[in-house]
Structure formats: C-alpha cells, structure tokens
Amino acid sequence: MKNRSLIIERVSRWMTPFIFLYGVYVVLYGHLSPGGGFPGGVILSSAFILILLAKGKQQALKNLPYGLAKKLDAIGALAFISVALLGFVFTGVFFANFLQQLWPGEPFHILNAGTIILNNIAIGLKVCASLFLVLLFLSILRISFGKKGQMQSMEDR
Amino acid sequence: MEALLILLLLFMIISAVVALYTEELLSAVIAVGAVGFGSSAVFLLLGAPDLAITQIVVEVAALVLLIRATISIGVKTTSAWRSGWQPKAVAAAAVIFLVFAFLSFRDMPEFSVPVMDRIADAPSIFYLEDGLSSTGSTNHVMGVLLDFRAYDTLGEATIIFTAVFGTLTLLRKRGKKAVNRNEYSGEKTSPKG
C-alpha cells in the first residue's frame, strides 16, 4: 500500500461522487427501471471500496467510519424486517404491500410502489455496509501463514 | 442469437477450465472474472437486465475481494490440483454429470418458450397481469422480488448478514485462544473499536 500513484488518487477523487450518485439512483429507481436494492447497494459500497483501495484505509474510514457501517448494516436489516412486520400489523399478512393497498399511487412515479421503495432503500443500506465491512475486515485483519503452517491473522501496516 | 449464446457459453466453459488448471492465482482470478462477465452478457442477451446489472456489479466486487484476499498477502501460485486422484475424480464426476444432463435435457421443453405457454394456470400469468395493479411497481422483477416473493429477499439479506459475521469471526484476533496470542506478543489487536 505504499506505492500509491498520483493519477489513481486524483481519478478516484473525481470518480467517487459519480459512482455514489449512480448507486443512489439505482436504489431509488429500482421499481421503475432495472436495478434495485442489491445492485445499487453494491455500487454504493464500490465507491467506498475505491476509496479504500486508492487512498488507504484511513481515508476510507474517514468517509464511512467502522461504527457507522456497523450501525447501517443493522439499521438496514431492522428496517426490512419492520416494514414486513408493519404489513402484518396493517393487513394481517407478513410482507404485505400495505402502503400500496391503502394509498395506491400513480404508475411511473417515484412514490408509487408502496413498501417496495422502502425495502429497496433498506436493502441498499444493508448491502452497502456489509460489502464494505467484508473488504475492510479482509484488508485489516489479514490471514497469513505462520511458521508452523498454521494461519494467523495479522495487522496490515 | 442462439449461435452467439453458444459462443458465449463455450467461452465461459473454457475460462472456467482455465481457472481450475492454471497455476498463477492472478490468472485464475481473471479467468473467474471472464466467466462472470460472460454470464452477464448472456443475461443481457436473454432479456434480463436486472440480473445483468447485479451479475456485473457483484463480479467486480468479488474480483477485488479475491485479489485482496489472496494475491496481495503473498499467496501467488497454487499446485494442489496437479497431482494425485483429484483431476481423475473431477473428470469422472463431469462424465457422470454430462450423461445425466443428456438424459434429462431430452425431456426439457423447447428453448425460449415461456412456462405460461405450456402450463395453463402458472403463477407467472398472475404476476404479469396483476403485477402493476397490485404492487404499483413498473419493474415487474422488483414487484416479484420485494412483494410477491419477499421471503426470498429476506433470506438473501440474512445470508449477507451471516457472511459479515462469519468474516469477522474468522479473521478477528480478539477472543482467540491464548496459545495463539502468545506468538505475537503485546501488539494492539482489533480494528477501530
């Protein structure tokens, strides 16, 4: 991680906002066009992964701190489950689309698909935080092969 | 279009074989990536842009993860596959698989005929006809994924949650046995907090 090139640093600085914006678009417009929470979340996390690979983990942790990523992961899962439980409360069916059944919206508008857009946002948050955490763990807590051939985890300096 | 599909599938099979039998891990990772991008192109040709987007995005992230997890920690080559009984076992399994695939593909329906043309009351007819009115989602794939079949998505979210916890549990230093901790004495453990 020492020989970082200036070109990669500058280009990643210019690319990151656009990648992030595209991820937000894919998450929010998942019910209107191809996309959705899962690919949008992966695109969002790839913005942070680009920062992690290009500028190192200090800069990446400044953009998405470890505690915030953990919280986002949990918040995404909880939001997904609670939307499903709200469907159970309002209509008696787990995962029912109660918003669409109670207040149906117009097709081809962004605020029409009821709980689908909420679920997309929850899954997007969850996938983004999860993939970033997995890469962070793999790059901070590394496995290396010790003297006796057994695996040890090691700090990445 | 079928000729293009067959070409892409052949390309994917060849890259998969290369990924298994090459010695350099970097070449193996690149060959796995070729399989992924080939399958993304196949999804795009078959008219599934949602799957194509997901496949290409996950493939890029998985390639970065694989390179980060193997090559950048110094594991560069592998030779575990070359010797012994494993290649013969793989070949035998492939032959058995191909025989049974041939037997079962004779009974398969014709290619590119949707299931609702053959079965009268298939659920996909209901999804296509009432999808917009009952979910409000213009993208039918999202309507099926997050409304009709939201249990599958719940399982997928559970899998990701478990993957993160598994990674942390396997790679952490804090909480391991004291025997291991003695080998690198005194160093501060844990990432941030």
Between A20 and B123, residue with greater pLDDT: A20
Considering CB atoms only, which of B53, B147, B193 is closest to A34?
A: B53
Residue B103 falls inside a structural domain: no
If asked whether residues B175 and B119 sit together in one domain, one would say yes
Instruction: Please state the domain extents for chain A.
Output: 6-144
> CB–CB of A142 and B171 under 8 A?
yes
d(CA B42, CA B45): 5
If asked whether residues B119 and B69 sit together in one domain, one would say no
If asked whether residues B71 and B139 sit together in one domain, one would say no
pLDDT at A142 (0 to 100): 56
CA distance B87 to chain A (A): 25
**What are A33's two structure tokens?**
């066009």
pLDDT at B193 (0 to 100): 40
pLDDT at B184 (0 to 100): 46
pLDDT of residue A47 exceeding 50: yes
Domain with B162, as residue range(s), is 115-179
CA distance A78 to chain B (A): 11
**What are A109's two structure tokens?**
């508008």
Read off the pLDDT of residues B128-181 as tens digits, 9 standing for 90 and up.
Answer: 888 888 787 888 888 888 888 888 888 888 888 888 888 878 777 655 554 444
CA distance A20 to chain B (A): 13
Read off the pLDDT of residues B13-27 as tens digits, 9 standing for 90 and up.
Answer: 999 988 888 888 888
Read off the pLDDT of residues A100-143 as tens digits, 9 standing for 90 and up.
Answer: 778 777 777 777 777 888 889 999 999 999 988 888 887 766 55
Residue B85 falls inside a structural domain: no
Considering CB atoms only, which of B52, B138, B150 is closest to A31?
A: B138
DSSP-derived letter for residue B24 is: B
pLDDT at B171 (0 to 100): 75
Res. B190 pLDDT band, cuts 50 70 90:
very low
Residue B88 falls inside a structural domain: no
Residue B159 falls inside a structural domain: yes
> CB–CB of A67 and B147 under 8 A?
no
Put simply, whether B53 touches A (Cβ < 8 Å) is yes
> CB–CB of B160 and A130 under 8 A?
yes
Domain count, chain B: 2
Mapping DSSP onto H, E and C, the string for A22-73 reads HHHHHHHCCCCCCCCHHHHHHHHHHHHHHHHHHHCHHHHHHHCCHHHHHHHH
If asked whether residues B167 and B121 sit together in one domain, one would say yes
CA distance B190 to chain A (A): 8
If asked whether residues B9 and B68 sit together in one domain, one would say yes
Residue A154's DSSP bridge partners are A142
Residue B147 falls inside a structural domain: yes
Name the most confidently modeled range: A31-35, A97-101, A144-148: A31-35
- Of B48, B77, B106, the residue at which a domain comes to its end is B77
Mapping DSSP onto H, E and C, the string for A93-137 reads CCCCCHHHHHCCCCCCCCCCCCHHHHHHHHHHHHHHHHHHHHHHH
Put simply, whether B4 touches A (Cβ < 8 Å) is no
Between A113 and B52, residue with greater pLDDT: B52
pLDDT of residue B94 exceeding 60: yes
Which of A2, A32, A38 should one mutate to test binding to chain B, selecting the residue with the greatest count of B CBs within 10 A? A38
pLDDT of residue A37 exceeding 60: yes
Read off the pLDDT of residues A4-35 as tens digits, 9 standing for 90 and up.
Answer: 788 888 899 899 999 999 999 999 988 888 88
Closest CA to B65 of B20, B73, B113: B73
Q: Of the given ranges (A104-108, B60-64, B180-184), which has the lowest mean pLDDT?
A: B180-184
> CB–CB of A153 and B167 under 8 A?
no
Helix (H) or strand (E) holding B69: helix B49-70
